[in-house]
Amino acid sequence: MKLDTSAKLKELFSLEDKVILVTGAAGGIFSEVSKGMAQVGGAMALCDFNEEGLKKVEDEITGFGGKAKSFCIDMTSLDSIRSCVEQIIEAYGRIDVLVNGAGINKRVRLIEGDEETFDRIVAVNLKGVHFLSQEVAKRMKETGGGSVINVTSYNSVMMLGGCGVYGATKSGVAALTRAQAIEWAEFGIRSNAICPGHISTPLTEPLWTDQVRSKFLLDRIAMNRPGKPADLLGLAILLASDASSYMSGMMYHVDGGCLAGGQPWDL
């Protein structure tokens, strides 16, 4: 008799009947994560300010038989955040999973950064994440709970020059994750964070094609390669699914062994 593993895998990891809100869904990383979550049954609420990019991702998902709807959001505007959540509730009736994937950065030295740049990075990466999470948590509380998946960064625990303000916001998201976990547990809401390492996307391509900078990074990655957006998918599915029902308040690193110490010296 051949063992049938599909039933147990489906019980643990299926996202069927789960409504999943993903911000940054038109971007290089979370467009791929959104498509992957749709492939295991998630009903995707794709959110971004890039309406054209959203439509492309939505068409790809519906093209392979998945469920997806697009919603425009401005993470710097509380009115936009509240309106977006309301539209999703009207369309789907509930939100089971929130993936806070939206984020921005502008590399600038701390001694040179201006107020406008500081305010915008904080507004999107920290303030927007807080108020969107708050708005979604109110709806999750009404329906018996859910899972919040925040996105931090290598720069929330280590640092690259020029990423000081960005890293500060991502450290703030890590703190919010712990606070959400302890304050919202009574509502059946779990909160965890994915901490990506150095991921290759169209936006970071100049970094990986620069011989000096790419070598600097690869020397610090045990696996000796940049991460791919798809490398985040397995953890995202785990944290969104019932398989992680007793996991909350933690930050999980997906970095190819970067924080472990990078590549060993020749001995």
- Examine the residue annotation and report whether 166 is marked as an active-site residue of this protein: yes
Question: Is the CA virtual torsion 12, 194, 75, 65 positive or negative?
Answer: negative
Q: In what order do the strands lie in the sheet with 67-72?
A: 67-72, 43-48, 19-23, 97-100, 146-151, 189-196, 251-254
Point out which residues pair with 193 in neighbouring strands.
Answer: 150, 251
Active-site pick, 92, 154, 166, 246: 166
In angstroms and rounded to an integer, the radius of gyration of the C-alpha atoms of the chain is: 19
Residue with tokens 């190819």: 256
Q: What angle do CA 234, 129, 20 make, to 5 degrees?
A: 45
83 Cα distance to chain centroid: 21
Query: Where do we find the tokens 């953890």?
Result: 235
The total number of residues shown for the chain amounts to: 267
Q: Exposure string (b/e) for 112-131, b if CB count within 10 Å is 16 or more? A: ebeeeebeebbbbbbbbbbb
| Tokens coding 44 | 């995707």
Residues noted as catalytic: 166
